[in-house]
Amino acid sequence: MEEASQTPEIQMDAEGLCREEVFTDNRIGTIHRLTPVTANGDVDTSRQVQYIEATQIMIPGGALPLNFEIPADSLQAAVEGFGTAAQQAVEQTMEELRELQRQQSSSIVIPKTGMALVQREAALSSCHESPETANTGPVRVDHMHLVCRACRRPG
């Protein structure tokens, strides 16, 4: 019995071929000019040239790469529009990062038994406010029970 192949067919699209040229100022970023070509390598004038720009910004987590397309009809127009397009890409990326952070922070779920234990632990933490017992905190007896380290009061 012949086994069906699970590997997808990998094939280039001859109708979507482009020649890629890279331009850089060796400081801020790069511009990739994608010139449409036919399957035999001739320029395909029926499709528009694309300008894809790339740069990176530093955020607290390190370098964040930015890639964005800019509507331009020449390399000079792409160079002139780089700053504005980059700023828009930064703003959009930062908004997407903030949204991801909001989604991540709202996905934290504390089970009811866990929440009760956290609340009891907080209550016991303030059981003794004197300087000599300030760092004593509660002691976990088992997975559900706490006692005050200083006075052994159950929580």
Task: Tell me the pTM.
Answer: 0.59
Q: How far apart are CA 40 and CA 19, in angstroms?
A: 12
Which regions of 43-137 does DSSP assign to beta strands (E)? 50-59, 62-70
User: pLDDT digit string (tens) for 32-91?
Assistant: 999 999 999 999 999 999 999 999 988 888 888 999 999 999 999 999 999 999 999 999
Angle at the Cα of 112 from the Cα atoms of 106 and 113, rounded to 5 degrees:
130
Q: How far apart are CA 81 and CA 72, in angstroms?
A: 8
b/e burial code for range 127-155 (CB count within 10 A of at least 16 → b): bbeeeeeeebbbeeeeeeebbbbbeeeeb
Q: Which of 25, 21, 16, 79 is nearest to 48 (CA)?
A: 16
